């Protein structure tokens, strides 16, 4: 079947997904148009903000793709103070962002657990319970995830990175800390506890085929995921995967493939939240807005205090590193309007899929 027939039929198996991911020219535009129509039908044109604070680049793991991996000695390590994190939460609340995301390198320790737990409680108090809170702090034990849920976090992002266990192993050291099964278990635990559960993958990694990406989308569907954040892989010179850079798709193609992944997923999972990843903006200044036009409905403006931004360098050419939050906010207002969207100020913008799933529909 061709793209037009697949879109009319609407049933997407592996072969159909591959055809959509390989679409070019007019076919690709048909895919984008259909994804946008579905988003508007299911979710309307509202785009929700999540103010993102990358509060520490200290990480206990050594993922082969990531610029802040433990073994990279070139990184200046930082830890944003509790007061600065709370200031950022106040900023998000006062500017009607609706939700707040706390992201960092992965650490497992009683002190870290307690710190995050206390911060969650304080953010709930300072925002009178009005600010929704998402965490993205890697794999944690069930007990820790339960404690953070009780303290006020209600969404959690844990990208599976690649749903193919063999590929996953090629991107990570072979030890228990970087075990595929452990990551999958964490994701299941999040769902069981009651978090709105988010995952995602990097697109355009070395050794990854279009078939692998189709499998990633099917994984998200079978897992019944509530939220997805996926973005292009961008190489970093101080990481082991950098040696395979000659095998990568050109960066523009990785960007284009990401748009097709978002559009295809929107057709497969009509009512989930899909975030326009920051990595898209690193490639194209209007990258996130382009993602909104093909099915994304969430944007995560970076409100990390400016002086720390350069040090959260997962990849090179990270955008918005010199801007203060206020400047980011003003430019985003205009940009979303350009993408025919409207900002859902003061709303949590929960995953509609989550509410249906948990209501047993």
Q: Which of residues 285-324 bind ligand SF4 (CB under 6 A)?
A: none
Judged by beta carbon distances under 5 to 8 A according to partner kind, the member of ligand SAM, ligand SF4, none in contact with residue 234 is ligand SAM
Residue 236-255 contact track with ligand SF4, rule CB under 6 A, x = bound: --------------------
Question: Is 45 or 79 the residue whose CB approaches ligand SAM more closely?
Answer: 79
Quick one: which of 225, 314, 320, 332 contacts ligand SAM (CB under 6 A)? 314
CA distance 301 to 334: 13
CA distance 107 to 49: 26
* H or E segment to which residue 224 belongs: none
Task: Please state the closest distance from residue 294 (CB atom) to ligand SAM, in A.
Answer: 19
CA distance 228 to 136: 12
Question: Is 317 or 337 the residue whose CB approaches ligand SAM more closely?
Answer: 317
In the DSSP assignment, the letter for residue 241 is G
Q: Tell me the two tokens of residue 25.
A: 């020219």
Question: Is 52 or 294 the residue whose CB approaches ligand SAM more closely?
Answer: 52
Judged by beta carbon distances under 5 to 8 A according to partner kind, the member of ligand SF4, ligand SAM, none in contact with residue 233 is ligand SAM
CA distance 5 to 300: 35
CA distance 309 to 330: 19
Task: Please state the closest distance from residue 67 (CB atom) to ligand SF4, in A.
Answer: 8
Judged by beta carbon distances under 5 to 8 A according to partner kind, the member of ligand SAM, ligand SF4, none in contact with residue 103 is ligand SAM
Quick one: which of 106, 215, 235, 350 contacts ligand SF4 (CB under 6 A)? 106
Closest to 254 in 3D by CA, of 234, 278, 274: 234
Residue 148-187 contact track with ligand SF4, rule CB under 6 A, x = bound: ----------------------------------------
CB 31 within 8 A of CB 8: no
Question: Is 41 or 174 the residue whose CB approaches ligand SAM more closely?
Answer: 174
| By CB under 6 A, residue 61 contacts ligand SF4 | yes
Residue 76-115 contact track with ligand SAM, rule CB under 6 A, x = bound: ---------------------------x-xx---------
Look up tokens 């003003």; give the residue.
330
CA distance 168 to 165: 5
Q: Cα separations (Å) of 189 from 37, 66, 272? A: 34, 25, 19
Residue 1-40 contact track with ligand SAM, rule CB under 6 A, x = bound: ----------------------------------------
Judged by beta carbon distances under 5 to 8 A according to partner kind, the member of ligand SAM, ligand SF4, none in contact with residue 85 is none
CB 224 within 8 A of CB 357: yes
Which segments of the chain are extended strands (E)?
46-56, 99-104, 132-136, 155-157, 196-199, 202-203, 227-232, 273-276, 298-299, 342-343
Count of residues touching ligand SAM (by CB under 6 A): 18
The four Cα atoms 149, 165, 52, 75 give a dihedral, to 10 degrees, of 120
| By CB under 6 A, residue 68 contacts ligand SF4 | yes
Residue 200 CB partners (closer than 8 Å, separation 6+)? 157, 159, 160, 228, 229, 230, 231, 275, 277
For strand 202-203 and strand 155-157, is the pairing parallel, antiparallel, or unpaired? unpaired
Task: Please state the closest distance from residue 278 (CB atom) to ligand SAM, in A.
Answer: 9
Task: Please state the closest distance from residue 173 (CB atom) to ligand SF4, in A.
Answer: 10
Closest to 183 in 3D by CA, of 196, 210, 201: 201
Judged by beta carbon distances under 5 to 8 A according to partner kind, the member of ligand SAM, ligand SF4, none in contact with residue 304 is none
Given the rule CB under 6 A, which residues bind ligand SAM? 65-66, 103, 105-106, 136, 138, 158-159, 161, 202, 231, 233-234, 236, 279, 314-315
């Amino acid at each position: 079947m061709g793209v037009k027939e697949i879109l009319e039929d609407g049933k997407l198996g592996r072969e159909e997904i591959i055809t959509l991911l390989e679409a070019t020219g007019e076919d690709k535009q048909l895919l984008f148009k259909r994804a946008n129509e579905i988003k508007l039908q299911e979710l309307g044109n509202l785009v929700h903000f999540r103010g993102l604070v990358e509060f520490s680049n200290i990480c206990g793991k050594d993922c082969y793709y990531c610029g802040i991996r433990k073994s990279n000695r070139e990184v200046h390590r930082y830890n944003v103070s509790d007061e600065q994190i709370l200031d950022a939460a106040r900023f998000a609340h006062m500017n009607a962002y609706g939700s707040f995301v706390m992201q960092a390198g992965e650490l497992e320790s009683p002190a870290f657990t307690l710190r995050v737990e206390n911060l969650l409680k304080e953010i709930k108090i300072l925002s009178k319970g009005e600010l929704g809170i998402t965490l993205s702090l890697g794999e944690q034990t069930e007990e820790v995830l339960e404690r953070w849920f009780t303290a006020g976090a209600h969404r959690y992002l844990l990208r599976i990175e690649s749903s193919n266990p063999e590929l996953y192993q090629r991107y990570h050291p072979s030890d228990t800390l970087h075990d595929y099964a452990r990551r999958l278990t964490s994701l299941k635990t999040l769902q069981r506890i009651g978090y709105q559960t988010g995952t995602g993958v990097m697109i355009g990694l070395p050794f990854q085929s279009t078939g692998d990406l189709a499998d990633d989308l099917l994984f998200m569907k079978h897992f019944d995921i509530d939220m997805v954040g996926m973005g292009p892989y961008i190489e970093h010179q101080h990481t082991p995967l950098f040696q395979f850079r000659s095998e990568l798709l050109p960066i523009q193609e990785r960007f284009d493939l990401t748009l097709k992944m978002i559009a295809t997923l929107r057709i497969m999972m009509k009512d989930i939240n899909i975030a326009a990843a920051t990595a898209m903006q690193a490639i194209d200044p209007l990258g996130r807005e382009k993602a909104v036009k093909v099915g994304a409905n969430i944007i995560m403006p970076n409100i990390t205090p400016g002086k720390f931004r350069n040090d959260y360098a997962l990849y090179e050419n990270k955008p918005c590193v010199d801007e203060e939050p206020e400047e980011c906010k003003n430019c985003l207002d205009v940009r979303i309007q350009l993408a025919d969207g409207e900002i859902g100020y003061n709303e949590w913008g929960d995953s509609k899929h989550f509410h249906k799933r948990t209501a047993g529909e």
